[in-house]
Structure 1
Amino acid sequence: MIKISTNSKKDVYIHAALIISLLLALFFGFFFVYLPWSTNHGETITVPNLKGLTIEEMEDLLSERNLNYEVSDCTFVAGAKPLTVLSQYPLTNSKVKEGRKIYLTINSETPPQIKLPQLNGLSVRSAEQQLLISGLLKGNLKYVNDIRINEVIEVEYQGKKIESGTLISKGSKVDLVIGNGTGDVEMEVPDLVGKPFDEVKILLAGMQLQVGSVIYESESDQPAGTVTKQNCTTCSNDKIHAGETIDLWVAGTPPN
């Protein structure tokens, strides 16, 4: 056993100094040598941008930086390549420790099947919004003769008509068949000259025709409210389609 001499104050001071020196050496050795060596204290790694990379590319990039990863979610985004990184956490350029785990969202290889929403009868704009909400894309707009102007008449997928509720892949494009406001069947242009304007409006509505421009002739010798002239710019060979318009000239002055 080592005996420590304490015969004088000098011996006590020497031994106290030795003990303090030993404690300081242990303190600095632990915090400034051992900890940096064991935990890379003060060293950080910049997280690379992984978005859009394949799994193989992502693994190589993280391996070079001694970082790990975990797939926390798998979803489907139309237009993105299958099995590529959609998002990451921590974000690009974040500073992390070696061995840190990066959490990833990967684009699914197979799109999920979803039901086609009810689009018939909606306006083009409303149909586009419903497609967006459902995860589908708008394809071509096909206009056909139909009195329902700018309204969806039917929906086509891969060239075939489909009904609402049909299962199709998320991200698919569907074509919308839209009414152009004119009927498919031709009819004779009605003779409206000499008839009262109020009667003409009822007649045209019953034929699914529209009143176009109305020009009043205050100097006409016809009774006020009588149609004196008519014109249809879209008619051909005295034929007209439902939904088309006829311009009218009316005797008298505009009503207040």
Structure 2
Amino acid sequence: MKRLFLHVFLGFIILISFVYLALQSISEMTMHGESILVPDLRSFSISEVEDTLTTLKLRFSVVDSGAYNADYPRGSVIDHLPKHNSRVKQDRELYLTVNPKNISLISLPNYTDHSSRQYISELKAKGFRIGKFIYKRDEHVNVVLGVRYLGEVVKINDKLEKATKLDLVLGNGRGMQMEMPNLISVSFSHISSRLQNLALNKGDFYYDASVVDTMNAFVYKQSPIEGTENIDLGVFVDLWFTEDSSKLVEDMLELMRQDSLKARLDSILND
């Protein structure tokens, strides 16, 4: 009797499993037959969006004109919902946020007797972007001496478009130098502000094969390397980014090996 009950129970389990797998298979087939992968529409003009979504049998509407984003053309899409790579059904409506076509003009604020950190905060608050630092010989260090745009001098109260990238002319404290700081493990999203705070310029950025989303990447290599002495203010720093955390371990081991070799060499020279 027990054996019969066991056989019936096992048969019931097998039947339930078969029905579940069959339903899953049908569900997946239905999804693949009806769902549409949302494309990345960022930077598309409205006419390009219309052509693309008409082909995919999707609809759209513009729901917002966002704050001006200098990374995208005027009048182009800067965001949308659902996001790209989402799956939606045919005839689904997408909601677009578009970059404004008209940009307000803003007066350049007074920089007299301002430190670079103070003036950068003021420029960002007004919607300007920060370009590079140009250091000139002056007795004061990191005091703003002038502003340039595309190599041309910009005067106080000159009108500029919002999101304009401005270069700052700063005093170098009569040739003041520094030791290169450690930037290893700093995230991509924070590296610009870190360089600005350290009076350093952004050089070339490199990304290894592991980087899928730059916002998740972090520095694993830098040039000049940490500890390099007599670095001029405003030096351009090249950085290498990865999403592979194991590269941080490799970098630490390499630094330890270098420190060990340096210690041995110092010991030999001092004997």
What TM-score range do you get, normalising by the shorter chain? 0.3 to 0.5
With the length of structure 1 as denominator, give the TM-score of the two structures.
Answer: 0.47
The structure with the largest helix share of the pair is 2
**TM-score under structure 2 normalisation?**
0.44
